[in-house]
Amino acid sequence: MIKQRWFLQLIVATVIGSLVWSCSTVPLTGRKRINLMPESEMISMSFTQYDEFLSENTLSTNAAQTAMVKKVGKNIAAAVEAYFAQNGWSDQLKGFDWEFNLVADATPNAWCMPGGKVVFYEGILPVTQDEAGIAVVMGHEIAHAVARHGSERMTQQMAAQMGSTALSVVLAEKPEQTQTIYQTAFGVATQVGVILPFSRKHESEADRLGLIFMSMAGYDPSVAVDFWTRMSALSGGSSSMTFLSTHPSNEARIRELKNALPEAMSYFKE
């Protein structure tokens, strides 16, 4: 009985220690997050699946649109990197290898995988309309990666599916199961870009950070309200579209965006 009690105490102490060690803060928002999944593992799997997706999908042949997507992506990524370096947060972007591609698909969608791998679909460009509109979407997607929302979601997925199995054991001895869980969370290669939706908490945080990031790069964040109004009209006022899933209602979202604009404007540099 004493041995059992000692063993249980050891397990509890180990779990608590892991949580404390893995608890970090999202830059700018200050939200506490728990990631038990090493970011290096996330990025490695992300890069592999991103390459697989590109090999199975057709890149856009529209040179002008492709160039604009890449330009906006590079501008925002550079602005984020510069700001993080100034504030001693460069370690938050360790292992990132930014890449921006436009695929020939009429779906109004876009996504960013851990490590900075971004895909835009031609179908979202009529809604973005111009470079500033692309920056709204780009800032939002980059925010997901920078805030490490993928690692949080992966941690939740692994906890739900692997139970009490130690993370080190899962990573070292169960690579196939780890990959399966990753595919569930980021099944872009096998499901034509359909990524498991983020939580409302993550989406709202990405909205807020996205406005800040686009502002840092010199894009007026106030255009975000018009973009999301157009997205709302395109979806018929619902949030059933992939790009809108799990978000607050369109009205609530636009209200939150308006509330976040003063903060974002403080980072705006023309």
**Catalytic residue from among 99, 141, 152, 203:** 141
Residue pair 46/114 in contact (Cβ under 8 Å)? The answer is yes
Is residue 141 annotated as part of the catalytic site, yes or no? yes
Distance of CA 264 to the CA centre of its chain: 19
- 90 phi-psi bin (left φ>0, alpha ψ -120 to 50, beta other): alpha
Containing 6, the helix (H) or strand (E) segment is: helix 2-22
Q: Where does the chain show beta strands of DSSP type E?
A: 23-25, 32-34, 99-103, 110-113, 117-121
Q: b or e along 18-43 (b: 16 or more beta carbons within 10 Å of the residue's beta carbon)?
A: eeeebeeebbbeeeebbbbbebebbb
Residue pair 104/122 in contact (Cβ under 8 Å)? The answer is yes
Q: Which two tokens stand for residue 38?
A: 């090493």
Which residues on adjacent β-strands are paired with residue 215? none
Q: Are strands 117-121 and 99-103 parallel, antiparallel or unpaired?
A: parallel
| Neighbouring residues of 151: CB distance < 8 A, sequence distance ≥ 6 | 35, 37, 39, 42, 114
Using alpha carbons, select from 265, 235, 260, 263 the residue that is nearest to residue 250: 235
Q: Which two tokens stand for residue 193?
A: 């870009």
Catalytic residues: 141
